Structure 1
Amino acid sequence: MNPIPELTPLLKQLRLSGMTDSLAMRNREAIEHQLSYPDFLALLIQDEVARRDQKKYATRLRRAGFRGNKTLESFDLNANPNLNRAYINELADCRFIEEHVAVLIAGPCGTGKSHLAQAIGHCAVKKGIDTLFFTQAKLLSNLHAARATNAYEKRFQALAKVDLLIIDDFGLKPLKSPQDEDLHDLIDERYEQKSTIITSNLDFSEWGQAFPNKLLGAATLDRLRHNAYRLVLEGESYRKLRENNDHTGLGEKSEK
């Protein structure tokens, strides 16, 4: 007598769909290889765990809000011979998240800053780390909208507590009040508690110019720079290089 038809609805009732999907296959495998009952059960449990892990990963990835499939695998490292791969791999390992420090990425438009930031974010998501990606404009607009609906504190805390927050295109548009205060409060709340990745077209020495209140800007940047990993991408626009099929001229410097 085949018990599988009777087991399937019971497994679904227990929300063990991973076992349901592979039950017949694992049953054939157990018969063919004469597996013991514990070994057979272990395979079914592994299938269920794998299904749940994949579901959690898909949820984290969707919630992160990345722009397309900007992964480390899709970034053409071979086209950038001066890029410090060991440094990139160190960041991709996500130890900086355990250290609760920032990663600051600067360089001209089109040199791959946003791609690398999101690629590191993808690595974090794969490790089970909750991640959110925003442009500076989108982030501050999000907070402004929350303030207008009396949901500011709830939204602020969600941003403050996420393990990895990626802010793209910092300084692309000058900050206005209360945007500079919102950004300062967010960075201050995350300081030495969570990790933040920030990309900017501005040189590091120019970041303070984005703040109308220079004192507030200095305080914000002081917290970001403390023990931060820094990455500078140099050269022509990567987009232009791809269009011309000329993969030369993109360099990188790094320091911690």
Structure 2
Amino acid sequence: MNTTASLQQMKELRLHGMAHTYGQQLELPIHQQLDAHELVGQLLQSEQLFRQQEKTAYYLKLAKLRLPAIPEQISCSAARNLTKQQLATLLEGQYLKQGENILITGATGCGKSYLACALGNQACLMGMKTTYYSMNRFIEKITLSKLDGSYLKLLNHLERQALLILDDFGLQPMQQDVKLALLKILEERHGKHATLITSQLPVSACHEYINEPTIADAIMDRLTAKRTPDRIERRLPEEKKITRYRLR
């Protein structure tokens, strides 16, 4: 098989990373081309990188992040109440693997949404399925799903996301059905997947915002505590509180 046919076969098999690198190799003078073993390794690395990039792009598309935020543009300082170490810890993504929740509070314009979207972007880069909703959009989505019969499908979808971002919690009143839906989602995700919430409200004001003691207690319990299953050694379950960041 000649080189042109090999290149065409790679494209037909959708080995686009390989095809790109192989095409570059064919354009080089023969004495600069890699030998067989090095070429195979290079082609495999190129294909793997291409697929990772494609997967990231796909996850970012599905996430529908509000802002094209990147961690490098986040300002860290004592004045903002956010240190470089705190940001680095978040970017490592351990909270995603442990199913821990993040609450970012602060006044309007302090960068809550930007930080949330930057963490969402990082989660996608790590191969974690992510979904972003402003609370206004979340309320609309829940309401419409009940009307068109897609409510259970929506709940199942949100339960599977490695990271669920709810932005601007507390800006719009929630009806009873939305409160129950939020409780159901947090219950299903509890201790398994991470939820990130931004809000102008301090935690102490959330009960008043939800405005229904029983549901408020249940929501805040699922949101602010993480219970892990009993381990093989039969230790007691661990309790981990929500990680809170108040930006300035």
Q: TM-score range by the shorter chain?
A: 0.7 to 0.9
| Alignment partners' CA distance in 2, 1:8 and 1:33 | 19
TM-score of the pair, normalised by structure 1: 0.85
Give structure 2 stretches of 5+ with no counterpart: 226-240
The structural deviation recorded for 1:192 is: 0.7
Name the residue aligned to 1:241: none
Q: SS state of the match for residue 166, structure 1? A: strand
Q: SS state of the match for residue 167, structure 2? A: strand
| Alignment partners' CA distance in 2, 1:176 and 1:35 | 65
Name the residue aligned to 1:231: 245
Give structure 1 stretches of 5+ with no counterpart: 235-256
Of residues 160-169 and 13-22 in structure 1, the stretch that sits farther from structure 2 once superposed is 13-22
Alpha carbons of structure 1 residues 7 and 68: separation in structure 2 relative to 1, 3 Å: same
Runs in 1 of length 4+ with deviation above 6 angstroms? none
Say if 1:19 and 1:48, in contact at 8 Å, map to a contact too: yes
The structural deviation recorded for 1:62 is: 0.9
Q: Deviations over 1:175-223 (max 9, x none)?
A: 1211111111111111111110001001111011221322101111111
Aligned runs of 1:22-37 on 2, under 5 Å?
Answer: 22-27=21-26, 31-33=30-32, 35-37=34-36
Say if 1:191 and 1:223, in contact at 8 Å, map to a contact too: yes
**Aligned residue pairs, count:** 233
Say if 1:140 and 1:182, in contact at 8 Å, map to a contact too: no
The answer to whether residue 42 in structure 2 is matched with residue 43 in structure 1 is yes
Of residues 126-135 and 32-41 in structure 1, the stretch that sits farther from structure 2 once superposed is 32-41
The structural deviation recorded for 1:118 is: 1.0
Say if 1:106 and 1:199, in contact at 8 Å, map to a contact too: yes
Q: SS state of the match for residue 77, structure 1? A: coil
Name the residue aligned to 1:206: 205
Say if 2:81 and 2:247, in contact at 8 Å, map to a contact too: no
Alpha carbons of structure 1 residues 78 and 33: separation in structure 2 relative to 1, 3 Å: farther
Q: Deviations over 1:64-99 (max 9, x none)?
A: 111231121222336956522211211111100111
Say if 2:67 and 2:117, in contact at 8 Å, map to a contact too: no
| Alignment partners' CA distance in 2, 1:30 and 1:120 | 44
Name the residue aligned to 1:181: 180
Alpha carbons of structure 1 residues 35 and 23: separation in structure 2 relative to 1, 3 Å: closer
| Alignment partners' CA distance in 2, 1:56 and 1:30 | 33
Q: Deviations over 1:202-250 (max 9, x none)?
A: 111101122132210111111111121111113xxxxxxxxxxxxxxxx
| Alignment partners' CA distance in 2, 1:81 and 1:149 | 43
Of residues 221-230 and 163-172 in structure 1, the stretch that sits farther from structure 2 once superposed is 221-230
Aligned runs of 1:145-156 on 2, under 5 Å?
Answer: 145-156=144-155
| Alignment partners' CA distance in 1, 2:33 and 2:222 | 61
Name the residue aligned to 1:143: 142
Aligned runs of 1:1-256 on 2, under 5 Å?
Answer: 3-27=2-26, 31-33=30-32, 35-77=34-76, 80=79, 82-226=81-225, 227-234=241-248
| Alignment partners' CA distance in 2, 1:157 and 1:30 | 55
TM-score of the pair, normalised by structure 2: 0.87
